[in-house]
Structure 1
Amino acid sequence: ADEMEDYRRGREKSKKTIQELTRSMEDISHFTGLELDLDEIRKCAYIKVRFGSLPKESYEKLDFYNENPYVIFFPSSHDETQYWGVYFAPIDQAAEVDRIFSSLYFKRVKLANYKGSPETALKQMEEERNAEGKRIQEADSRFSAQWKKERSRCCEIYSRLTERSVYFGIRRYAARYNDSFILTGWIPADSEEKFKTSLDPLQSVEYTFENAEDNLNHSPPVRLKNKKLFRPFEYFIDMYGLPSYDEVDPTPFVAITYILLFGIMFADLGQGLVVSLLGHWMWKKKKMKLGRILIPCGICSAVFGTVFGSFFGFEHALDPLYRG
């Protein structure tokens, strides 16, 4: 486990280094046209150097500062919207020059601490990135070899832990009496025989059944049971709150009124068919519960649309059909 954790940490470290190098390479690639020694520039004590980019509109405005001998921008590359380059300023004029370039929306780019020209630094970064990539491949190879070696043992440990987790999960709901555990719960009445069949082979298990009607004070769980047409509308009942065990299930009433009112208010033959097809697609392809509700609603809308003579918003489109 410690070895695998070391592999994981080493891989994450190399991956992070590659991301940082990629960003640095992207930054410095804009300045490869400059014949400058980055290390020598950093040693300048009386001159401030700023690498960065200017918007194209701001670059064109530099002509307005021709009278200021310190406002000079040396471009190295550009695209349709930006110019990348560098400007220099004496240390006593740096604040004023920085203010001017800031007003021109100059975006500074801080280059990594590499020696030589930007082109040399870019090659060095690429070599380092490739080296980190090889480290990741080596770590993956070692991890795969270690996993093949320890796979059976890891699977065995995982199976034991999963089994123990199930046992401890059951214990949370169990009461203890002498050397026995007692579990109480609810099952659907029509599942009683199936429940007996599954427990009968277990010699150490005893069970008893009680009628839910005699235990209403314990709030039996509610399971809605409706016909196929009404079943999708259980979605709304679940959303707003299930009825108590001894209360009436409102699902059929909600389903009938919802379908009828939707059809009356959205009466249109063409649009109703579209809604129904859309609902069928949502249910079959996306497994969305709302799709099963839209299918009967769309059909009802199409029926009332036929009655009212509406077809895709044209309220008299079906008049010739009636007259005929």
Structure 2
Amino acid sequence: MARSTTMRLIELMVLREDIHSVLKYLGELGEFQFQQEFSSDSSDSAKRLNPDASVFERLQQVRAALDLPDLDGYKGSVPLPSDADFESATKIIDSVEDIHKKELTAADEEKRAVSAYREALAFANLKVSYSDLESLSFLTLRIGKIDPEKIDDLKARLGSRGIIVRLGDDNSRILAASSKKARFALDGELKEAGFTELQVPKDFKGIPDEVLLTLERNKTEAAAALEEIQTERRNFAETHKDELFRLLQIYSVGSQIYSVENSLESTEFVYRITGWIPAYLIRKVMKDLDELTQSRAGIREFLPTEVPSVVSGQEKVPVQVKHGKIVSSFERMIFSYGSPLYGTVDPTPFVALFFTVLFGIMFGDAGQGLCFLIIGILCCLKKIKISGWEKFGGIFCCIGISSTIMGLLTGEFFAN
């Protein structure tokens, strides 16, 4: 209990046809630490050797297009991708890409319809011929677009040299007027404000009401078409989200297995895997791998003292500590200072005991101890989730019990 777990180095020689199932087994075991160092290779050759990664990437794009949350952990045992899974993934990807294209097209149509309607609305009240206004010898007119937030500043800088009239409901179009003498100052200020002049026909007198009604109807129809496609997307997401998350899990595992496989030492037919594993699991792992590969895998076991890199000091044996639920909650406190070396004393049980006792002696208060105990119970039940503090539920329970007992012995309850 007070020492780290005894470890063994195992060497596996696995045939190419068994490598995926063996890597999946070791991953699900959760007790195997590779001795090899894997480099993240993002080259094109590495990507070609990982077809599951490209499918997983496209499924992630589908998930984002459907506005679904990201994959959060794995639920149960995840199988390797099959031909049926690839067919299902392809159907979902194609369907969502088709919906996404239709949504982009509808959004573009709706944007153009709204822009045309606003353009027309801006000149709806212009009932005098624009050529008549422009022909006035004492007046310079400019009609165009501008950022609405800059209009007030433009008015202030223009002062008495001209006037600014807002056109339309969105205030993005204006009519600027000044005397002929002040036209250069007007043009300079408009240019400074980012003004874009619109070309207005000379005989233009405004937009007929029937044209406005048509444009408004087009805008409404475009918005309705976009909403219909968005509803289709939401319905598709609701009906296919379970299958999509299942495929994301499958292809996430598959892509990771391919990634590890590409980093292993191998010949044309055989892969070599070396890694550390707790000694108490050796027999189980050997039996499971023998059944999984139908006795096709070769397995060798080494003591740490038989590994040259460990003897020379170039490699350290990984450390595993096994504790119960209460003591394991103190591991973070210990490992924040560093983990114990392999084969040395594990201080976690001693720290758990003496920290609890000393906290009770120094903070003996039955009322506040009960508060700690309640917080600890809520953390253990996952009712409190604040920045990872729920992982310290066991510690809160221990110090709460210790503080409560010492408070009862000293007769102290909320400092009274």
TM tier, smaller = 0.5 to 0.7
| Structure 2 letter corresponding to 1:306 | L
Given that 1:50 and 1:88 are in contact with CA atoms closer than 8 Å, whether structure 2 keeps it comes out as: no
| Structure 2 letter corresponding to 1:13 | L
Residue 11 of structure 2 corresponds to which residue in structure 1? none
Aligned with 2:372: secondary structure?
A: helix
| Structure 2 letter corresponding to 1:247 | T
Residue 279 of structure 2 corresponds to which residue in structure 1? 189
Given that 1:51 and 1:86 are in contact with CA atoms closer than 8 Å, whether structure 2 keeps it comes out as: yes
- Give distance in 2, aligned partners of 1:46 and 1:96: 14
> Residue 210 in 1 paired to residue 296 in 2?
no
Residues 192-219 of structure 1 show CA distances to partners (whole Å, capped at 9, x for unaligned) of 2211221333221122222235444342
- Give distance in 2, aligned partners of 1:242 and 1:15: 58
| Structure 1 letter corresponding to 2:303 | N
Residues 138-168 of structure 1 show CA distances to partners (whole Å, capped at 9, x for unaligned) of 7899x99xx9xxx9xxx8xx98997686356
1:224, CA displacement in angstroms? Answer: 0.8
Evaluate the alpha carbon distance shift between residue 279 and residue 20 of structure 1 in structure 2; reply closer, same or farther with a 3 A threshold.
Answer: farther
1:226, CA displacement in angstroms? Answer: 2.6
Residue 334 of structure 2 corresponds to which residue in structure 1? 237
Given that 1:224 and 1:234 are in contact with CA atoms closer than 8 Å, whether structure 2 keeps it comes out as: no
| Structure 2 letter corresponding to 1:90 | A
- Give distance in 2, aligned partners of 1:19 and 1:240: 60
| Farther-moved stretch of structure 1 (237-246 vs 275-284) | 237-246
> Residue 268 in 1 paired to residue 358 in 2?
no
- Give distance in 2, aligned partners of 1:279 and 1:21: 59
Residues 243-285 of structure 1 show CA distances to partners (whole Å, capped at 9, x for unaligned) of 2212221212322343234334443322221222122212222
- Matched residues, percent identical? 24
Higher relative contact order (CA 8 A, sep 6+): 2
Evaluate the alpha carbon distance shift between residue 206 and residue 134 of structure 1 in structure 2; reply closer, same or farther with a 3 A threshold.
Answer: same
Given that 1:276 and 1:298 are in contact with CA atoms closer than 8 Å, whether structure 2 keeps it comes out as: yes
Evaluate the alpha carbon distance shift between residue 5 and residue 211 of structure 1 in structure 2; reply closer, same or farther with a 3 A threshold.
Answer: same
- Give distance in 1, aligned partners of 2:319 and 2:114: 57
Q: Report the TM-score when normalising by structure 2.
A: 0.47
> Residue 200 in 1 paired to residue 300 in 2?
no
Residue 251 of structure 1 corresponds to which residue in structure 2? 348
Given that 1:276 and 1:297 are in contact with CA atoms closer than 8 Å, whether structure 2 keeps it comes out as: yes
Number of positions where the alignment pairs a residue of Structure 1 with one of Structure 2: 276
1:14, CA displacement in angstroms? Answer: 4.5
Aligned with 1:200: secondary structure?
A: helix
Q: Can you give the 5+ residue segments of structure 2 that lack an aligned partner in the other structure?
A: 1-89, 135-139, 153-159, 194-205
| Structure 2 letter corresponding to 1:46 | L
Given that 2:365 and 2:412 are in contact with CA atoms closer than 8 Å, whether structure 1 keeps it comes out as: yes
| Structure 1 letter corresponding to 2:276 | W
Correspondent of 1:90 among 170, 177, 197: 177
Residue 281 of structure 1 corresponds to which residue in structure 2? 378
Q: Can you give the 5+ residue segments of structure 1 that lack an aligned partner in the other structure?
A: 59-67, 78-83, 103-114, 317-324
Correspondent of 2:399 among 282, 285, 297: 297
Correspondent of 2:225 among 131, 153, 173: 131
> Residue 46 in 1 paired to residue 133 in 2?
no
Evaluate the alpha carbon distance shift between residue 53 and residue 206 of structure 1 in structure 2; reply closer, same or farther with a 3 A threshold.
Answer: closer
Residue 310 of structure 1 corresponds to which residue in structure 2? 412
Aligned with 1:187: secondary structure?
A: strand
Evaluate the alpha carbon distance shift between residue 296 and residue 73 of structure 1 in structure 2; reply closer, same or farther with a 3 A threshold.
Answer: farther
1:311, CA displacement in angstroms? Answer: 2.6
Residue 63 of structure 1 corresponds to which residue in structure 2? none
Q: Report the TM-score when normalising by structure 1.
A: 0.58
1:233, CA displacement in angstroms? Answer: 0.8
Aligned with 1:196: secondary structure?
A: helix
Aligned with 2:274: secondary structure?
A: coil
1:291, CA displacement in angstroms? Answer: 2.0
Evaluate the alpha carbon distance shift between residue 311 and residue 165 of structure 1 in structure 2; reply closer, same or farther with a 3 A threshold.
Answer: closer
